[in-house]
Amino acid sequence: MLILFLIVFIDLVGFGIIIPLLPFYAEHFQASPAIVGLVMATYSAAQFVAAPLWGRLSDRIGRRPVLLATLAGAALSYLWLGFAGSLAVLFLARAAGGFMAGNIATAFAYVADVTTPENRARGMGAIGAGFGLGFIAGPAIGGLLAGADPVHADFQSPALAAALASALAFLLALFILPESLPPERRAQLSASSASGRRSPFRQALARPQIRLLIALAFLAVFVFAGMEATFAMWSRRQFGWGPEQNGYLFAFVGLLSAGIQGGLVGRLAKRFGESRLIVAGAALLAIGLALIPLAATIPALLTAMVIAGTGFSLISPALNSLTSLTAGEGTIGGVMGVARSATTLARVVGPAWAGFLFSWLGKDWPYVAGALVMVGVVGLGLYALKGRAEPSG
């Protein structure tokens, strides 16, 4: 488990390095805010397509070959990104990177292979921590390498650093990571996948409460991903910020999120119940998004981002928890898979939507519209979730 944690952490450092860079990279090629949103969405779109393909392939040939191929492919995609000479190449490089990032499902499948039902949650949590810590370190490193000047940012060094991180993760997997799936189990999983591929979607969408929870998760990620995709462009226009300042801010929000999700959500859920956390998180996210356009000073902006980050850090795990509790023992895996597909799709649609609002209506509108959407989520939560998942102690 330790080696898989390190691989995931290093790989996510590479992914995070690119985050504060991309909007400036796209604008370097004269991309409009709408096109920047599409660049940001391309990665998640390719990941959405690739995840089930890599997952099914890993059922047939094993987890290790898929992880090795995708880590090597990720390193090459970052090299391609670093030497992009046009907007079209930037799109293609991000699509390639997203396709390789479909290995996330394979990494979690590896955890399921090597853990028992009793310690699986701990294993999944450890890999989730690798994701979170990588995403905290990555943006800070990327921003530092790219520099503070939005006009003359260094686009190549962060991409090369990301390629190096993925190459290091590949070498760790090549020399240390064993295969987790024996041949007989591969045949069994492959047959099961072929016979019941669509059943999780039918099971999830046939139940109104599950449909609602998945819809709420989609909307929360939709508006937060829109904020992430457009914030660097907004901060450039509002404060003259470059990649470095944005990298530090994203790292700060990631650290805040890790602290809340790792140490606070569990205790709050026991005391207040998941349904109340969903409503509270949606309300805080709405308030934080609404405050961003009003932020004329750095302290005001930090306040808005803390409120928004806290809201998202509450609503996301609370929705995951309530969804798993509502699903029941026999369908948890399938329902959670559908929920993850929905949130990945939200990371496709959200940046594209926010980018078009930024272009058509102005830099503040992605946040105003996002706040209104979250007000709607608060209303749905109060109406439909009241009385569910009450505190257990």
**Angle (nearest 5°) at CA 357 between 353 and 363:** 130
**pLDDT number for residue 391:** 42
Contact between 213 and 324 under an 8 Å Cβ cutoff? The reply is: no
User: To 10 degrees, what angle do helices 120-146 and 243-263 make?
Assistant: 160
Query: What integer pLDDT is reported at residue 188 of this predicted model?
Result: 63
- The tally of domains found in the chain comes to 2
Please indicate, yes or no, whether residues 102 and 133 belong to a single structural domain of this protein. yes
Q: Give the angle 95-30-35 at the CA atoms, nearest 5°.
A: 45
- Which pLDDT score, from 0 to 100, does residue 201 have? 62
- Residue at which a domain ends, from 178, 197, 216: 197
Do residues 113 and 258 both lie within one domain?
Answer: no
CB 293 within 8 A of CB 236: no
- For residues 278 and 390, the answer to whether their CB atoms sit within 8 Å is no
Predicted local confidence at residue 191, as pLDDT: 61
Domain end marker among 152, 178, 197: 197
* Domain of residue 337, CATH code: 1.20.1250.20
CB burial of residue 383 (10 Å; 0-12, 13-18, 19+): exposed
**pTM, whole model, 2 decimals?**
0.80
Residue 219 to residue 53: CA distance in whole angstroms? 25
Residue that finishes a domain, picked among 160, 180, 197: 197
| pLDDT tens across the length of the chain (393 residues) | 677 777 778 877 877 888 888 899 999 999 999 999 999 899 889 988 888 788 778 878 888 999 999 999 999 999 999 999 999 999 999 999 989 987 777 777 787 777 776 666 566 666 666 777 777 888 888 889 988 888 888 999 999 999 998 899 899 989 988 887 777 666 665 565 555 545 556 666 667 788 888 899 999 999 999 998 899 999 999 999 999 999 999 888 888 887 887 667 778 878 888 888 899 999 999 999 999 999 999 999 999 999 999 999 888 888 877 877 776 655 565 666 677 778 889 999 999 999 999 999 999 999 999 999 999 999 988 876 554 544 444
> In this structure, are 179 and 39 located in the same domain?
yes
Q: Are residues 230 and 339 in the same domain?
A: yes
Q: H or E segment at 194?
A: helix 183-195
Residues of the domain holding 56: 1-197
**In which region does residue 387 sit, left (phi positive, over 0), alpha (psi from -120 to 50) or beta (all else)?**
left
DSSP for 293-307 reads GG--SHHHHHHHHHH
Residues 171 and 263 occupy one common structural domain: no
